[in-house]
Amino acid sequence: MLIFIDVQTTGLEVKDKIISMGLVAVEDEQITTMFELVNEGKKVPSIASSINHITTEMLKNKVNLKDSETYKFLLKHNRASSIIIGHNVKFDLSMLQNAGFSFLGEVIDTLRVTKHLVPECEMFSLQFLRYELKLYKKEEKSLDAYNALDNAKVVKNLYEYLKEMDTKRDFTKLSFQKVLLEKFEFGKYSGRYIEEISMCDRGYLEWMLSYVVDLDEDLRYSIEYHLGSIL
């Protein structure tokens, strides 16, 4: 079974909680879609609401994660033969693990696979790729970027696009192989080559390595490479 997943949370820290989960499961041409809001007893801060459009009031009277039908579905299909697929899926799985769920099957990260196969993209966010790769043309109706189920559907479309693009590569292996990035996606050097900045502003890159705690691991790897830390 292929399980395309997206979770939305109260934040990005270990103490934060899942507040919604959407999935699209595919097995033998049978497709199952599920979505639920869940209440883990944590207030949704305004900064999170501004991203996922979910408020504390919307979670009133909702069941907790482990009592939700979506979570029970994951438990039922938590087996070695299942594959979970998500965009930056390590985050989704880490939040599920914090809630007591440890996945037994294989994992595919469409974020990292896209970085490997389509390195020329200016950005790699799910919604950017949705338009850059024209994935929206496969949508039967317009999808909501703030809805976990709709995001899972975009992940499915992205996965299918990547599989058509390269049928021979092992996506499970690519999902755990670091990517040597060419350009910055954000910040004052957005769009410029990392190699160029390593020569004209080495101090800035050294600062990023030392002080940006949540630095993307591929960006960290790429900066270290261009600074000469990796031979």
pLDDT along the chain (231 residues), means of 10: 95 88 93 94 91 91 93 95 96 92 95 92 90 89 82 95 89 93 86 90 92 88 85 49
CB-based contact 160:203 (threshold 8 Å)? no
pLDDT in tens, 16-67: 899 999 999 999 889 999 999 999 989 999 999 988 899 999 999 999 999 9
Q: What pLDDT sits at residue 14?
A: 80
Query: Residues 6 or more apart from 166 whose CB is under 8 A from it?
Result: 117
Taking the C-alpha atoms of residue 209 and residue 223, their distance in angstroms, rounded to an integer, is 8
Q: What pLDDT sits at residue 112?
A: 95
Q: What pLDDT sits at residue 229?
A: 63
Q: What pLDDT sits at residue 111?
A: 95
Of 121, 156, 157, give the one whose Cα is nearest residue 138: 157
Q: Where are the alpha helices (DSSP H) in 120-177?
A: 126-132, 148-165, 171-174
Q: What pLDDT sits at residue 230?
A: 57
Distances (CA, A) of 189 to 100, 185, 192, 199: 40, 8, 6, 13
**Domains of the chain as residue ranges with CATH:** 2-174 (3.30.420.10), 178-231 (no CATH)
- Map tokens 């305004």 to a residue: 46
Q: DSSP class of residue 64?
A: P
Long-range CB contacts for residues 41-45, cutoff 8 Å, separation at least 24: 41/17, 42/10, 42/16, 42/17, 43/10, 44/10, 44/19, 45/10, 45/11
Q: Is the pTM of this model over 0.85?
A: yes
CA 193 from chain center: how many Å?
A: 24
CB-based contact 35:20 (threshold 8 Å)? yes
